[in-house]
A = this chain, B = another copy of it.
């Protein structure tokens, strides 16, 4: 009913006011990037954010599509400590899939909703500079973000564009590096002095006890997050996400969120309602 629509808009008012003119970096991934209905909902959430004056920045990876492409080419994906072993041939596939396929598909979907999106990889304008990550031994062209050059993002957002960034970084020598998309999003959020980092996942959030779905943690500090990881009580799959959140907060981002991308319009719910969803690190 029209009255309810109006009432809802008015309920969202204080949140719209808070975020107007702010930058929000979103790691887009999981089911929200696969399910057609969810994908469409995300695109519209981004359009709405832009219209109420928010600058959304999208960062994405694309594991499933990479695996599929590798298999077509007869290569078996291999992982060490959750990171993809990335020889030169694999890196080429990663880059082609993420930057040439996944990225442009998101861009085309956003443009279809009437905004203007521009896709970038970390190579463009030297946006994401990486060094080789040898934390797990030499597993090839796997990189750590060493530096972010955010100027191109400002150029694009000032021009009214939504930037969409694939998680490929560049080394000093022009070599492409495969970087974790959560980590890349965190680094970008810090470099852009973003108001929020939001990681879209396929879980509800962080559980105090992973086997007990009622133990969802709605809020913790960055130092608590670091402690919990050190104490070994964080589920392995959640560690890099929680680390990304902690690191963004440590670098000055006021709030970082892990939200459930399987829920339609999770972004709007997080931003514009007083329902806290997922887990917030601050």
Contacts and interface: CB of A to CB of B under 8 A. Distances in A.
A128 to B, nearest CB: 12
Nearest to A20: B51
A108 B3 CA distance: 26
Interface in A1-58: 2-13, 16-17, 20, 41, 44-45, 47-48, 51-53
Contacts of A48: 9-10, 13, 16
A152 interface: yes
Nearest to A149: B116
A264 B6 contact: yes
A124 interface: yes
B6 A174 contact: no
A60 interface: no
Contact of A5 (B8, B125, B152, B156): B8
A93 B221 CA distance: 45
B52 A125 contact: no
Interface stretch (A96-104, A179-187, A239-247): A96-104
A174 B112 contact: yes
Given A17-B51, A51-B17, A155-B159, A9 B6 contact: no
22 contacts: A2-B273, A3-B264, A5-B12, A5-B268, A5-B272, A9-B48, A10-B41, A10-B45, A10-B48, A13-B48, A16-B51, A16-B52, A51-B52, A51-B53, A52-B52, A95-B101, A96-B96, A100-B100, A104-B124, A116-B125, A116-B126, A119-B121
Interface of A: 2-13, 16-17, 20, 41, 44-45, 47-48, 51-53, 69, 72-73, 92, 95-101, 103-104, 107-109, 111-112, 114, 116-121, 123-126, 151-152, 155-156, 159, 161, 168, 170, 173-174, 176, 263-265, 268-269, 272-273, 275, 277
Given A3-B263, A8-B8, A9-B272, 14 more contacts: A5-B268, A5-B272, A9-B9, A9-B268, A53-B53, A96-B100, A99-B100, A100-B103, A104-B168, A104-B176, A107-B124, A112-B174, A119-B123, A125-B161
